[in-house]
């Protein structure tokens, strides 16, 4: 899978990860003779969606360009327990040094992609898409956003710079939703204008302004269906607003929200509550 343009920090993120792990040098790896060559492979110990190849490749490239990484799976591929993911060949010291940083990236990003795929499967056939949020691990924003794509989800905004999302605190500080939207229009920022609504009244105000995206937060199912009806009427009149649900969605109830007819469902847990997958590297 090709990296999106916003993923432009792979080298810097990997360099930071190696610096915090290796520091002044890997003393344990020096137990192995300097010229020793090695072979190793990484396996998955559980069902997973693979994500993180660019970060793994960069770890070993920065440690020693003589290392060869042979991938046996593709990004976004579903794998089974005991399946080989990639094989390594090169200087044994560098292979040992890179083992943990490479696995850290692969376990975390595959964990994100796997969680996303579970939600995508849960809403299959409804037409709803699973979207991420800004609730990401510090320093891994771009990587996790990419992992969401690998899992079959879509990105909301990447950061504060590529979209305006008016939330409850902005509404309160601006003196109301209409004033907040007016202030946002005045910026002429050239980015999508989105607003959160906590009531049907706020949803109607957002539709009057034909915002790009209406994010309905913690609506009951009856109110959510009514919001969907309002959005569909708005679009039938030529409006462009997309409706997204946020708040309280789990794997157990997400389909119920999707069946209300929303376009998207935002899930913060797919990037916030991540369990790293169980992977293992073994020397051949």
**Coil/strand/helix, residue 124:** coil
d(CA 105, CA 9): 14
pLDDT value at position 248?
87
pLDDT given at position 2: 87
**Annotated catalytic residue within 21, 64, 210, 217:** 217
| Distance separating alpha carbons of residues 180 and 187, to the nearest angstrom | 11
Q: What's the mean pLDDT in 108-124?
A: 98
Bridge partners (DSSP) of residue 58 are none
From the list 58, 99, 132, 196, the catalytic residue is 196
Annotated active-site residue 99? The verdict is no
Residue 153 neighbours by CB distance under 10 Å? 27
Q: Is 167 among the catalytic positions?
A: yes
Q: What's the confidence (pLDDT) of residue 1?
A: 80
Report the alpha-carbon distance of residue 73 to residue 207 in Å, rounded.
Answer: 45
Residue 183's φ and ψ, nearest 5 degrees, are -65, -40
pLDDT range class, residue 238, cuts 50, 70, 90: very high
Of how many residues is the chain composed? Answer: 284
Catalytic residue (one of 84, 167, 235, 272) = 167
Q: Which of the following is catalytic: 61, 84, 89, 100?
A: 100
Span 237-266, mean pLDDT?
Answer: 97
C-alpha Rg value of the chain to the nearest Å: 22
Options 89, 134, 135, 232, the catalytic residue: 135
CA–CA gap between residue 99 and residue 40 (Å, rounded): 10
Question: Can you give the pLDDT at residue 38?
Answer: 97
For residue 88, name the pLDDT band (cuts at 50, 70, 90). Answer: very high
Query: Which residues contact residue 238 at a Cβ distance below 8 angstroms, ignoring those fewer than 6 apart?
Result: none
pLDDT band at 103 (very low <50, low <70, confident <90, very high): very high
Average pLDDT, the chain: 97
Percent of the chain with pLDDT over 90: 98
Beta strands in 199-263 (DSSP E): 213-217, 242-246
Confidence (pTM): 0.95
Task: Report whether 191 contacts 164 (CB < 8 A).
Answer: yes
């Amino acid at each position: 899978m090709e990296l999106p343009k916003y993923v432009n920090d792979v080298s810097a993120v990997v360099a930071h990860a190696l610096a915090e792990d290796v520091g002044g040098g890997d003393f344990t790896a020096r137990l192995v003779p300097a010229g020793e060559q090695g072979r190793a492979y990484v396996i998955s110990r559980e069902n997973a969606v693979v994500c993180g190849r660019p970060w793994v490749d960069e770890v070993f490239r920065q440690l020693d360009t003589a290392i060869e990484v042979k991938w046996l799976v593709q990004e976004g591929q579903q794998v089974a327990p005991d399946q080989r993911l990639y094989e390594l060949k090169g200087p044994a010291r560098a292979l040992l040094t890179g083992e943990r940083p490479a696995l850290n990236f692969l376990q975390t990003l595959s964990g994100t992609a796997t969680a996303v795929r579970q939600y995508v499967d849960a809403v299959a056939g409804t037409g709803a898409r699973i979207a991420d949020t800004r609730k990401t691990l510090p320093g891994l924003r771009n990587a996790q956003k990419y992992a969401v794509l690998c899992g079959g989800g879509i990105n909301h905004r990447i950061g504060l710079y590529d979209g305006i999302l008016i939330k409850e605190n902005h509404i309160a500080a601006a003196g109301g939703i209409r004033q907040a939207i007016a202030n946002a229009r005045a910026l002429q920022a050239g980015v999508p204008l989105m607003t959160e609504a906590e009531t049907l009244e706020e949803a109607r105000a957002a539709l009057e302004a034909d915002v790009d995206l209406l994010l309905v937060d913690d609506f009951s199912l009856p109110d959510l269906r009514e919001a969907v009806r309002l959005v569909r009427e708005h679009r039938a009149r030529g409006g462009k607003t997309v409706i997204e649900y946020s708040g309280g969605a789990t794997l157990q109830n997400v389909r119920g929200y999707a069946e209300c007819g929303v376009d998207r469902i935002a899930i913060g847990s797919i990037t916030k509550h991540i369990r790293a997958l169980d992977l293992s590297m073994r020397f051949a």
